[in-house]
Amino acid sequence: MYELVITEKPNAAKRIAEALADGKPIKESYQGVPYYKLTHGKKDIVVACAVGHLYGLAEREKKGWRFPVFDIEWKPLYEYSKSAAFSKKYLNAIKKLCKGANEFTVATDYDQEGSVIGKNIIAFACRQKDAYRMKFSTLTKDELRESYKNKSRHLDWGQIEAGEARHYLDFFNGINYSRALTSAIKSTGRFKLMSTGRVQGPALKIIAEREKEIRAFRPKPFWQIELKGEYNKQAITALHKEGKFWEKAKADNAIENIKDAKEAKIQSIERKEYRQIAPFPFDLTSLQVEAYRCLGIQPKETLEIAQELYTSGLISYPRTSSQQLPSTIGYEKILNELQKQKSYAELSKLLLKRQRLAPNNGKKTDPAHPAIFPTGILPNGLKERESRIYDLVVKRFLATFAEHALRQTMTAEINCNNEIFAAKGTRTIEKGWHAFYAPYVQLEEVELPNFKQNDRIKVSKIELLSKETQAPKRYTPASIIKELEKRNLGTKATRSEIVDTLFQRGYVQGKAIEATELGISTIETLEKYCPKIIDEELTRHFELEMEKIRENAQKKENLLEDAKEAITKIIGDFKKHEKEIGKELSDANKATQDEMAFIGICPVCKEGNITIRRGKFGNFASCNKYPDCKTIFSLPKNAFIKPAKKNCEVCNFPMVLAIKRAKQPMEFCLNPKCPSKNVEGEAGAKAKAIAKGEVKRKCPKCGEGDIVLRSSIYGKFYGCSLYPKCRYTEKLSTGQ
């Protein structure tokens, strides 16, 4: 007999087995699934792995397309999901290993999801009512051995109950609302798979409301007066102290007073110093926001990469809402390990010289895990994006221990014929934590000359700038996650997935997230006929109730009964207006499809629209005036095609964007005879380069051709326009 330890992923099983084994664990497999045998003290242990969720919620008995539906149960995922067929062998392996076990320990991730995964395996595969529970935040040997030594005698039922409540709630809301929306469209004779959910609806509402604000925005004109001058050969720029002139006459009057000025005087100087505190340690949301800001990595991918780094033992558990690093993680030990890595050796040494190590902890906490931190284990064979996220985590960890930075602001008031201008500068006096967080500190450094009062500056130019107020900015994938967290909608682990679903359903589009006609119409239609589906307050209420379940202050059964009652009433209201809802959603869906497929005006008939269409042999682009206009263009296969929303600079035909997996998006012109496509011809290369203003100079090799920007399957480069006669090339400089 032996103790069976169950982990969430294969990587975790390997690391836990290696940590607990007194010698070397023996690796075996069943149906291709690895498991490990080992001895720990006087005990025989087998470590087996799941592969995430092996069980999911499904209808107990499927009776067609009906709603509302509440009769659901846990079933093996492979039984009802084709995409989860691979999970069957993992479940089979655990079932086989259960038979020889007399003790069971759950070592899945210590959060609600991990707890539900472990409980379901114990209950349904192992047929046990309870088990031991390990709690850890890193997959390092010392912590895993300590976690095993201090394991709880019971499963973490508070987290399990809260996690199960969330699964039930999400299923109830998702299946019933999604079926209702899809059914409404089907009632019009069309079909479009629609979805919404407990958090998805309110999230879409936030984005749609921002889009409506932008559309309703009317810019208001204002004017600014800019003075450019010189002091001791250093250029100076100052703005009129009035800031924004809302009346042009007032701005014109000020300009009239100074239009002939050749000189101005420094009237006053004000210097202020302030301490810029070190950043807080990363929680998941701040990591996702910072990775998007600094590295351009999408929040969903950041979480996936961070999870890989965690299972590789390189960082702590990433699904945390804590901004605090407790002393129990061993600051000095981690810094000593980081000191062995060349990139962080000097920075770690500087911190280790300090008498006291104390991170600048934030206020946010998490009952299960500390903030994200590196373990100090030497990374090996990381891919580029993994390496960048790892570096960001390490630098943030180091920066939290560093001194505050000292910054100075300087404001000089400049008198020009009694019109007062202000020149402002900010510079760093003491770098402090900036040195530890490079290159992720992005602060503007504007240093003004060392002015003295009554110094004179030479005025070179005075300009009246005409501007307009700007519409509110659209959300980015990072800022919408931050907004959802601020409103307590969703969880740290699910918010990026929810935003991704909005894109998949065609509710939103673009890098700066724009609600489509379908997205806006869905919200407007639901607000009109069934507002509770997208009610933020209702969603937040259930989030708070689930937290009470985790704290054993609320019963899961009571919460689910409340949810069933609310959903039944909402669906009842929905069904009263099903046809009206279906008509409005169907029209909006068609408008969105047309919008997303529109490439440009037909270059042949000048009347129709060139749109992306699907044919028997794949996508193509054609004029919607067919059969009157038979203009048609082929499109590349094995690529996702999007309108580029611009015309070719050489021939003025519409352009499209081809996106292939693991490759940079590529723009190309629809015109097969466009001169820019003749990469081997002088006329084509030169026409393209001249149109873009990219002719650099005469070729230094042949002296006849021009050096122009060109493209190949390997990317862009500069080359001679007389290719292949002259094969001279140059690499692009960094940043081009």
Tell me the two tokens of residue 471: 């519409």
pLDDT per position as a tens digit, 61-118: 888 888 999 999 999 999 999 999 999 999 999 999 999 999 999 999 999 999 999 9
Find how far residue 243's CA is from the centre of its chain.
36
Give the CA distances from residue 202 to residues 183, 495, 534, in Å, rounded to whole numbers and listed in that order: 21, 12, 5
Range among 348-362, 608-622, 639-653 rated most confident: 348-362
pLDDT per position as a tens digit, 513-548: 999 988 999 999 999 999 999 999 999 999 899 989
Q: Is the pLDDT of residue 309 over 60?
A: yes
From the CB of residue 512, how many other CB atoms can be counted at a distance below 10 Å? 11
Find how far residue 352's CA is from the centre of its chain.
34
Domains of the chain: 2-155 (3.40.50.140), 165-215+473-588 (1.10.460.10), 221-277+406-468 (2.70.20.10), 284-401 (1.10.290.10), 602-677 (no CATH), 679-736 (3.30.65)
Place 696 in a pLDDT band, splitting at 50, 70 and 90: low
Give the CA distances from residue 105 to residues 115, 145, 716, in Å, rounded to whole numbers and listed in that order: 12, 14, 56
Q: What is the pLDDT of residue 693?
A: 42
Phi/psi at 679 (5° precision): -65, -20
Question: What is the rounded distance in angstroms from the CA atom of residue 612 to the CA atom of residue 593?
Answer: 10
Geometric angle at alpha carbon 407, from 402 and 408, rounded to 5°? 165
Q: Assess contact for 670 and 626: CB atoms under 8 A.
A: no
Place 661 in a pLDDT band, splitting at 50, 70 and 90: low
Q: What is the pLDDT of residue 713?
A: 45
Which pTM value belongs to this model?
0.82
Question: What is the rounded distance in angstroms from the CA atom of residue 91 to the CA atom of residue 55?
Answer: 9
The average confidence (pLDDT) of the chain is 90
Cite the active site residues.
317
Tell me the two tokens of residue 121: 């395996």
Task: Tell me the average pLDDT across 277-299.
Answer: 96
